[in-house]
Amino acid sequence: MKNTFSYENKELENSRIKLGETVSERFGERQPLCFLHSFGCQQNVSDGEKIMMMLSTVGFGFTNDTDEADLIIYNTCAVRENAEDRVFGAVGNLKHLKEQKPDVVIGICGCMAQQKSVCEKIKNTYKQVDLVFGTFAYNDLFVMLEEIYSKHTKVFNIEENTGIICEELKQLRIDKVKATVPILYGCNNFCTYCIVPYVRGRERSRSIEAVVNEVKALVNEGYKEITLLGQNVNSYEYGFPELLREVDKIDGHFRIRFMSPHPKDATNELIDTIINSKHICKQLHLPLQAGNDRILKLMNRKYSVSDYMKIVEYARSKSPDFCISTDIIVGFPGESYEEFCDTKKVIKEVGYYNIFSFVYSKRKGTKAAEMEDGISDKQKGLWLRELLLEQRETAMEINNKFVGQIKEVLVDGKSSTIEKLLNGKTDEGIIVEFEGDESLIGKFVNVKIMKAMNWALHGEIAE
Ligand code: SAH
Ligand code: SF4
Ligand code: F3S
């Protein structure tokens, strides 16, 4: 196989060469194809892109059709039960395919796979699966596939290790406009409802230099929006505001976003850095989770409603229309309807332009899974609907403020609802629809906002 790619890390490179040869022997002239699907958060998608890059260096191409794939990988999420159910459903559906095409290799990786109980369940029940690997095993991908191809064995690799960051593993980015860049991995916070610290291990930060160089390279390649990723970006070891200021010094026309800052250590310095920057979007995703102090304490969030409001008030004192979005969990164990109403009150007070809300999902192994929970999921679903209905009004009020303004929009693509319409997002992350030529996709366009809806803005290209 002709391949000019090489890793400087000897061990990695040797295993890559070996697998490359095995792949050539196995598939001959035909290019093998991989179907890879990442569920879950952007961190997971970014891991999926690393796997794709590794596979491409040993000769794999990619397909969206499991029927024509030689290798199928589901990169999974464990954050809520329905995320896990979808994976079990998808893998269950592959049973027939494996019977018809025994040579196809089926793999499951990511957060769900990292859980021992899930790995055991797959081993015992989903016999069509050949490969299970967790969030610490990406560096071993070549070795694992080599074992499967040459020894015809199954591989299960979910050992937790120190999770040393391998800077040599790069992402294969299909999108040429928006890119994600992880800045730290893992989480130390142990919010009582959350599985992430158990499946992603302890926090590890990349160096400022590594992050800045990667962002610079992406900007030079023409990327227009770069999102810095971490479960709690404020825990970034070398100072998050400092990192933002360094990234902001890069020349070019591009946007920086980040996901997510934890309110317990969001500082005025962070807000000042955003407001005074050139490239950082003037917006903050600040996950509240609950608006009642008793529930926040039970969640181990380490802030009170009043601590949270101080950050919001500071941001609004500096920039009165500062856009804030949030995550809410409805129906944490023991939450009463009155306590849920406290959350709605805080939501009204802050005036979020966007809310990602979820019914609490019990995660085995977490502290909250042991707590008494007297409210049914059906009831919690009704509370969630109540919250969403109120939020629609708030979003409408906020969106109305933009009518008449000219906003810079990064164009994402064609609207899925009405032909001839393009859509994109403002700096704040609000969707804008407008009429325009397809050639504008991936570019910044100034749009005059003519109308507001509760989910988007409508406008016309400004002269
Ligand atoms: N690190 C981020 C959250 C990552 S998980 C933070 O701390 O803000 C993304 C969101 O999923 C969380 O903000 C929370 O709202 C939701 N979530 C996490 N665990 C959940 C659970 N067990 N049930 C329901 N929602 C959950
Ligand atoms: Fe989960 Fe809390 Fe860590 Fe976010 S900060 S990933 S919610 S434990
Ligand atoms: Fe899911 Fe893992 Fe992300 S549990 S939300 S994919 S860190």
Rounded to the nearest whole angstrom, what is the distance from the C-alpha of residue 42 to the centroid of ligand 1?
13
Q: Tally Cβ neighbours within 10 Å of residue 62.
A: 15
* Alpha carbon distance 55, 201 (integer Å): 25
Strand partners, 232: none
- pLDDT category at 351 given cuts 50, 70, 90 is very high
Rounded to the nearest whole angstrom, what is the distance from the C-alpha of residue 319 to the centroid of ligand 1?
28
Is the separation of the CB atoms in 448 and 402 below 8 Å?
no
For the chain, how are helix, strand and coil distributed in percent, rounded to 5? 40, 20, 40
Rounded to the nearest whole angstrom, what is the distance from the C-alpha of residue 333 to the centroid of ligand 3?
21
Q: Is 24 in the pocket of ligand 2 (CB under 6 A)?
A: no
- pLDDT category at 164 given cuts 50, 70, 90 is confident
Ligand nearest to the CA of 363: 1
Rounded to the nearest whole angstrom, what is the distance from the C-alpha of residue 43 to the centroid of ligand 2?
13
Domain ranges for the chain: 10-157, 175-281, 283-400, 406-461
Sequence-ordered list of residues with C-beta below 8 angstroms from that of 403, at least 6 positions apart, any chain? 449, 450, 451, 452, 457
Rounded to the nearest whole angstrom, what is the distance from the C-alpha of residue 46 to the centroid of ligand 3?
11
* Alpha carbon distance 459, 452 (integer Å): 9
Q: Is 191 in the pocket of ligand 2 (CB under 6 A)?
A: yes
Q: Is 111 in the pocket of ligand 3 (CB under 6 A)?
A: yes
pLDDT in tens, 153-163: 999 999 998 88
* Ligand 1 atom index nearest CA of 191: 7
Ligand nearest to the CA of 187: 2
Residue nearest to atom 1 of ligand 3 (CA): 77
Q: Is 187 in the pocket of ligand 2 (CB under 6 A)?
A: yes
- pLDDT category at 2 given cuts 50, 70, 90 is low
pLDDT in tens, 102-149: 999 999 999 999 999 999 999 999 999 999 999 999 999 999 999 999
Residue with tokens 């025994």: 102
Rounded to the nearest whole angstrom, what is the distance from the C-alpha of residue 305 to the centroid of ligand 1?
18
| CATH superfamily membership of 10-157 | Methylthiotransferase, N-terminal domain (3.40.50.12160)
Q: Is 194 in the pocket of ligand 1 (CB under 6 A)?
A: yes
372 sits in the region (left: phi over 0; alpha: psi -120 to 50; else beta) called beta
* Alpha carbon distance 229, 227 (integer Å): 6
Sequence-ordered list of residues with C-beta below 8 angstroms from that of 253, at least 6 positions apart, any chain? 224, 444
Q: Is 40 in the pocket of ligand 3 (CB under 6 A)?
A: yes
Q: Is 79 in the pocket of ligand 3 (CB under 6 A)?
A: yes
Average pLDDT, the chain: 96
| CATH superfamily membership of 406-461 | Nucleic acid-binding proteins (2.40.50.140)
Judge whether residue 1 has pLDDT over 70: no
The reported pLDDT for the residue numbered 461 is 97
- pLDDT category at 4 given cuts 50, 70, 90 is confident
261 is written with which tokens? 């800052």
Q: What angle do CA 179, 419, 40 make, to 5 degrees?
A: 35
* Ligand 2 atom index nearest CA of 260: 4
Answer positive or negative: Cα dihedral of 294, 296, 301, 307.
Answer: negative
- Structure letter (DSSP) for residue 280: B
SS3 of residue 337 by DSSP: helix
Judge whether residue 412 has pLDDT over 60: yes
Q: Do domains 175-281 and 283-400 have the same CATH topology?
A: yes
Judge whether residue 352 has pLDDT over 70: yes
Q: Is 231 in the pocket of ligand 1 (CB under 6 A)?
A: yes
- The preferred substitution site among 37, 39, 43 for testing ligand 3, maximizing ligand atoms within 8 Å of CB, is 43
pLDDT in tens, 363-411: 999 999 999 999 999 999 999 999 999 999 999 999 999 999 999 999 9
pLDDT in tens, 312-350: 999 999 999 999 999 999 999 999 999 999 999 999 999
Nearest Cα to Cα of residue 178 among 79, 281, 109: 281
The reported pLDDT for the residue numbered 415 is 86
The reported pLDDT for the residue numbered 3 is 64
Please state the separation of Cα 367 from the chain's center in Å. Answer: 24
Q: Which of 3-7, 17-21, 81-85, 249-253 has the lowest mean pLDDT?
A: 3-7
Rounded to the nearest whole angstrom, what is the distance from the C-alpha of residue 185 to the centroid of ligand 3?
11
CATH number of this structure's domain 283-400: 3.30.750.200
Judge whether residue 444 has pLDDT over 90: yes
From the options 3.40.50.300, 3.30.750.210, 3.30.9.10, 3.40.718.10, give the CATH code of 175-281.
Answer: 3.30.750.210
The reported pLDDT for the residue numbered 372 is 95
